[in-house]
Structure 1
Amino acid sequence: MMTSYTAPQRDMLFVLNHLAGLEAVSQLPGLEDATPDMAAAILDEAAKFAAGVLAPINASGDLQGCRWDNGVVTPADGFADAYASFCETGWNAMPAQPEFGGQGLPSLVSSAVQEMWKSANMAFALCPMLTLGAVNAIAEHASDELKAVYLPKMVSGEWTGTMNLTEPNAGSDLAAVRSRAVPAGDGSYRISGTKIFITWGEHDMAENIVHLVLARLPDAPEGVKGISLFIVPKYLVNADGSLGARNDLVCASIEHKLGIHASPTAVMVFGENDGAIGYLVGEPHKGLAYMFTMMNHARLNVGMEGVAISERAFQQALAYAKDRVQGKPMGDSSGQTRPILYHPDVRRMLMDMKSRIEAMRALAYQTAAHMDYAHHHPDEAVRREHQARVELLTPVVKGWCTETSINVTSTGIQVHGGMGFIEETGAAQHFRDARITTIYEGTTAIQANDLIGRKVAREGGSSLAVLLADIDATREQLLASGNAQLSAIGAALARGAGALAEARDWLLAHYASQPAQAAAGAVAFLKLTGVVAGGWMMARAAQVATQLLADGDSDTVFLNAKLATARYYADQVLPEAALYAAQITQGAASALALDEEGF
């Protein structure tokens, strides 16, 4: 039994309108067209495309995978047609800047649409995701000449883009990058080297593939300060914009992976002959900083993959629980054999999945809204304030949402029982696809070290203090509401925030003197931050739902469900904060207790 995908538009719109503040975002300069009504219409059309075009080829793409033959990569059946339709209907251009042919929609709205693509078909969605990341990097850092040549075609989707960082000897340590770039004397460079793990590095769905490649110039200093960024197209571009000769690059092979089988992960070899022709982006030796424009975009999008694949697994588990008849539930006085949805533990698992997904979605969308303010607000001070929140939450969205997705998709298999372990049901695919999300675009540990180092220790916890103050303001409102349900949620939120503050204080006191112990607790701190920030989102959702019910909103089923998931999160998920805090403040040393011989 494989379920279809139905975009959760009601919850998406609830978050957009009531938590992330779409109406206020749509009043920012340049975003005026993205009204709540317009966003609802966009989501409705995107939901149709996701359900009708992308979802039907998800399982078949996983089963068939990509085919490599002498450097040529052919995607799974149906993918090329789906991509052509995707571009023809303008979806690829949706978040890009209007000056290059994009629609310029807010990150907030495009995040909701991106979630649909990733839920429906994560392997497919990786292709436009990497293209738009490359578009952002080129738009922000390349010369006007390069922008004019490459961006219109990439925004339209006629050309796709990739990110080439990793090498066989340089994984997370980009200081070890050894690919070379030699000036050719005509303004171009000759690129040579091998890059691995290149998502959609080769395929035949688009006319051209624009590779962004990190490489070293002959005079480059060692380390990350000696890396430059280059545009290296699959086909060279003639002066009139037409495609010319094939560049000196080849896909040597594609990887055989645990999941995302329909997304080709390529080994790319540049410059086996005269050198691949490339063009310098920006200034020499600043390539890593430029690439982070693309990487930060990708990290938020990978965090959204965690939300999306969890939603898909939940929908499948819920459908199975409604359909599978088995046994007489404990506590059910009817004595009838019922679907497993009636069994208390199945109900618990589904509630756990649902509540965590709602918390992740709200936090991810909220971060996207901060991005819109950081880029579009007319006041520089306000932009800085929101950018600080984006920088604080980006590793949390990437790390916490993806780590949570592994647990959620695993729970989805558990709901199916033995049938979940059978590939034909489709539940296992979501678990397999989720597993990469905690690894690529920076592992969870890399996100966690970034969080405790750059976002907490280096700035003395100032950005986190602002977040905790916002959480505390919500807590006060809940406790003063006179509503028993909201007061209970507020009390749980207070305990969670207290655990986060305790862990922060420990880190600030020990980061410099005990860096290894701080790093050993970094992932726990990231999860702690996610759990508490997610709990804040759920608490705010409970506030809104309570007020809407009091105002006579007719959507009582949805709003009461929102209250139920918020209370579950407060009772069952927020207590995890105390555990994570204890791991940081009391358990870091034990993680380092064994020497090499002890293992």
Structure 2
Amino acid sequence: MPIYRAPLHDTSFIIRDVLDYQRFDNLRGFSEVSPDLVEAILEEGAKLAENVLQPLNQVGDAEGCVRHEDGTVSTPEGFSEAYRQYCEGGWMGLSAPSEYGGQDLPYLVQSAVGEYFSSANMALMMYPGLTQGAVAAILAHGNEEQKRLFVPKMVEGRWSGTMNLTEPHCGTDLGLLRTKAVPAGDGTYRIFGQKIFISAGEHDLTENIIHLVLARIEGAPQGSRGISLFIVPKRKLDANGNPAGANGVSCGSIEEKMGIHGNATCVMNYDDAEGFLLGEEHGGLRAMFTMMNEARLGVGLQGLAVSETAYQNAAAYARARLQGRSLSGAKTPEKIADPIIVHPDIRRMLMTMRAFNEAGRALLLWTALQSDIAHRSSDEQMREAAEDHLALMTPVIKGVLTDKGFENAVMAQQVFGGHGYIEEQGMSQFVRDARIAMIYEGANGIQALDLVGRKLALNGGRAVATFFATVGGFCETQRQDEEMAPYTKALKKGLNDLQAATQWLMQNGAEKPDNAGAAAYDYMHLIGLVALGYMWGRMVKSAQEKLVSAAEDADFLRAKLVLGRFFMERIMPETSAYLARISSGADTIMELPDEAF
């Protein structure tokens, strides 16, 4: 059976020592969150993840969801009770505004415990995750009546939410959508159409499901400029705002998927369903992107979360599995063989996974902190810088963390050898579950195109220039520190490669767009690698400083130094390969005629 233990020590180290979150006590909700309270929240989240959510992970994978003849859907055994405990613990509204029933705590804290929940049970956590994204969209674009009517019950967990974008004939190119909205003459709209791949589209966890649906109002312009966003409840509401009769919304079928079997991925049919315009007419994409950007950070978190739990199981197996003898001589001569953790290649895989997980966690929490600054700071310059960071790093976190999360799930499976291919061990589920994160909320190739095509040039390149200055400034301030030299020299080389790649794109991308398209994916991973390296630089610096006084934490801190050096020696040099691929251009990629494939 798979295991999972929340990485409490590492999370606390990042929040407290690397990010020094207490410096931001001027932000709303931060001054109330003492270090002791943060520790208590993390510990309670860990208990829920380890004791309630994780034991249901294989159950959900084996049972899946069931659609009944009347169109209703049952979730796997135990999911309803676990969801109830999640909601009763206040986890749904952890960072939601207090005026709508939330606790108004930092998004930083929500992200930290969110990793634990997704590591324990990714499929189950998709239900509240989508609800939280829908709440963000309604709060950002809804009118006061809509906020009052929908948000409190969604924050409470009595109602859940979804996002409905994809149709059978269109995915990324939403301008092709056919779902239509007909004004009813009373301020509402009648929605007609079909959506596919709708996560949590129908289930038995809540009394109502609030669908956010992209549709085109009759007579609206074609293409993406004519799209609007609508709130379409599963059940209509009575005069008191309570669920009443059925709306024209139904689940036509559940998709048969490779993974995340515990989440109901539905084909949703809208047949004369009552809907309410959310935001402005023809402003649907802008409103939906509020939810999608939050969802993309959440999907990046899923990549990290699966990588972490897969690593933990691989490390436990490597310590226990006896096979062969160490190349340098028997390490356990009293046993018939040494545990496989003595073999360099096994350690290579374990170190690679762990080095990524710890840097990925720091990058994600750093970005969550920037989200708090963007939404809670009264300082305009701080908000602007935080918004720049979010714009630049959202596609990077989504693309890089999910790509590497899947790679690491496969690597963890490899540690098990043939046993990793057997369902009983649970490694197959990690691989299958991790795979979807590279696809939904915008396939990773699209994230790369968004990064190169839009985010780099945004505001005259202000965000990427700031990132260069941040990383370069860190290296410069450590230049006289000999203990930091093994880390900062490798990081500076990576930054130089990234700057050279950026310069090449500026010179060759605009005049020949295929050059930018061919370089985009490698560029996304190049900037992601430098960002992860920067986080290792900050973690190592904090660890060195703490080692002077924190004797009781010495083993943990020394491990940080070793993992950071491994990252710089074995992983950071990949920046040179990314630069070489980027600067080779698009000629060979585009040369073969279509019929040659």
Range class of TM-score, shorter chain: over 0.9
Give the alignment partner of residue 591 of structure 1, picking from 580, 583, 589.
589
The CA distance in 2 between the partners of 1:163 and 1:581, in whole Å, is: 37
Matches of residues 183-332 of structure 1 in structure 2 within 5 Å?
183-271=183-271, 275-332=272-329
Separation in 2, partners of 1:470, 1:290? 31
- For residues 70-98 of structure 1, the C-alpha deviation after alignment (integer angstroms, 9 at most, x for no partner) is 21110011001111111112111112111
Pairing 1:413-428 to 2, within 5 Å after superposition:
413-428=413-428
Query: 1:567/1:191 Cα in 2 relative to 1: closer, same or farther (>3 Å)?
Result: same
Report the equivalent of 2:6: 7
Distance in 2, matches of 1:590 and 1:195, equals 38
Shift of 1:593: 2.2
Please list every run of at least 4 consecutive aligned residues from structure 1 whose deviation after the TM superposition is greater than 6 angstroms.
none
- Indicate conservation of the 8 Å contact 1:25/1:372, yes or no: no
- 8 Å contact from structure 2 (residues 193, 270) kept in 1: yes
**Residue 332 of structure 2 contacts residue 338 of structure 2 at CA under 8 Å; is this kept in 1?**
no
In the comparison of the two structures, how many residue pairs are matched? 593
- Taking the aligned partners of 1:34 and 1:231, their CA distance within structure 2 comes to 34
| Aligned equivalent of 2:17 | 18
User: Any idea what SS the aligned residue of 2:4 has?
Assistant: coil
Structure 2 CA distance for aligned equivalents of residues 553 and 293 of structure 1: 45
Matched ranges for 1:81-480 at <5 A:
81-271=81-271, 275-334=272-331, 336=333, 337-480=337-480
Give the equivalent residue in structure 1 for 2:527.
529
8 Å contact kept, 1:478–1:543? no
Q: Secondary structure at the match of 2:289?
A: helix
3-state SS in 2 of match to 1:327? coil
Q: CA 1:474–1:236 in structure 2 vs 1: closer, same or farther (change >3 Å)?
A: same
Residue 37 (structure 1) aligns with:
36
The corresponding residue for 1:77 is: 77
Greater shift after overlay, 324-333 or 142-151? 324-333
Quick check: 1:457–1:507 contact (8 Å CA) kept in 2?
no
How many angstroms does 1:99 deviate by? 1.0
Deviation at 1:333, TM superposition (A): 4.7
Distance 1:594 1:35 in 2: 61
Q: CA offsets per residue over residues 297-354 of structure 1, 9 Å max, x none? A: 0000000001100001001101111111111111135573211111121111101110
Structure 1 distance, partners of 2:390, 2:308, is 24
Structure 1 residue 460, shift from structure 2 partner: 4.2
2:161 alignment partner, SS class:
strand
Deviation, 1:195, is 0.3
C-alpha distance in structure 1 between counterparts of 2:332 and 2:78, whole Å: 48
1:513 aligns to 2:540 (yes or no)? no
Q: CA deviation at 1:590?
A: 2.0
Deviation track 1:540-585 (CA, whole Å, cap 9, x = no partner) reads: 1111111111234421111011111100100111111111111111
Separation in structure 1 between the aligned mates of residue 566 and residue 202 of structure 2, nearest angstrom: 45
Moved more, 219-228 or 157-166: 219-228
Change (3 A) 1:29 1:93: closer
Distance 1:334 1:157 in 2: 53
- Give yes or no for the alignment of 1:582 onto 2:580: yes
Asked if the contact 1:214/1:227 (under 8 Å) is kept, the reply is yes
Is the contact between residue 395 and residue 451 of structure 2 (CA under 8 Å) also seen in structure 1? yes
Q: Give how far 1:116 is off.
A: 0.7
How many angstroms does 1:497 deviate by? 0.4
CA distance in 1, matches of 2:24, 2:124: 29
Aligned pairs for 1:499-578 (under 5 A) are: 499-578=497-576
Sort the Cα spacing of 1:240 and 1:554 in 2 relative to 1 into closer, same or farther, 3 A.
Answer: same
Q: Secondary structure, in 3 states, of the residue corresponding to 1:521?
A: helix
Structure 1 position 50, deviation (Å): 0.4
Q: Is the 8 A contact 2:22 2:30 kept in 1?
A: no
Q: Which runs of 5+ in 1 are unaligned?
A: none
Residue-by-residue CA offset, 1:375-432 (whole Å, 9 max, x unaligned): 1111112211111011111110100000001111010011001100111110111111
* CA–CA distance in structure 2, aligned partners of residues 401 and 589 of structure 1: 29
RMSD between aligned alpha carbons? 1.2
Check 1:26–1:40 CA distance in 2 against 1; reply closer, same or farther (3 A cut). farther
2:93·2:156 contact (CA, 8 Å) conserved in 1?
yes
Q: In 2, distance between residues paired with 1:268 and 1:144?
A: 28
Q: Distance in 2 between matches of 1:477 and 1:570?
A: 18
Partners of 1:106 and 1:458 lie apart in 2 by: 27
Q: Secondary structure at the match of 1:206?
A: coil
Residues 334 and 289 of structure 1: is their aligned pair in 2 closer, same or farther, counting only changes over 3 Å?
closer
Indicate the residue corresponding to 1:55 in structure 2: 54
User: What is the distance in 2 between the residues matched to 1:128 and 1:25?
Assistant: 28
C-alpha contact (below 8 Å) 1:191/1:276 kept by paired residues: yes
Contact 1:31–1:104 (CA under 8 A) maintained in structure 2? no
Of 279-288 and 456-465, more deviation after overlay is shown by 456-465
Residues 21 and 369 of structure 1 are in contact (CA less than 8 Å); yes or no, is this contact kept in structure 2? no
CA–CA distance in structure 2, aligned partners of residues 388 and 588 of structure 1 = 29
Whole-angstrom distance in 1 between the partners of 2:562 and 2:16 = 20
Maintained 8 Å contact 1:461/1:504: no
85-94 or 29-38: bigger deviation: 29-38
Alpha-carbon offset, residue 121 of structure 1: 0.2
Q: Distance in 1 between matches of 2:83 and 2:332?
A: 51
Shift of 1:459: 4.1
**Secondary structure of residue in 1 paired with 2:478:** helix
Q: TM-score, normalised by structure 1?
A: 0.97
Task: Give the structure-2-normalised TM-score.
Answer: 0.98
Q: Structure 2, unaligned stretches of length 5 or more?
A: none
Distance 2:468 2:434 in 1: 30
CA distance in structure 2 between the partners assigned to 1:492 and 1:576 by the alignment:
11
Secondary structure of the 2:430 match is: helix
Distance 1:425 1:558 in 2: 28
* 8 Å contact kept, 2:330–2:338: no
Given that residues 520 and 591 in structure 1 are in contact (C-alpha distance below 8 angstroms), is that contact kept between their aligned partners in structure 2? yes
Within 2, Cα distance between the matches of 1:34 and 1:592? 54
State whether residues 134 and 163 of structure 1, in contact with CA within 8 Å, keep that contact through their aligned partners in structure 2.
yes
Aligned counterpart, 1:497: 495
Q: Kindly indicate whether the alpha-carbon contact (under 8 Å) linking 1:479 and 1:487 is maintained by their aligned counterparts in 2.
A: yes
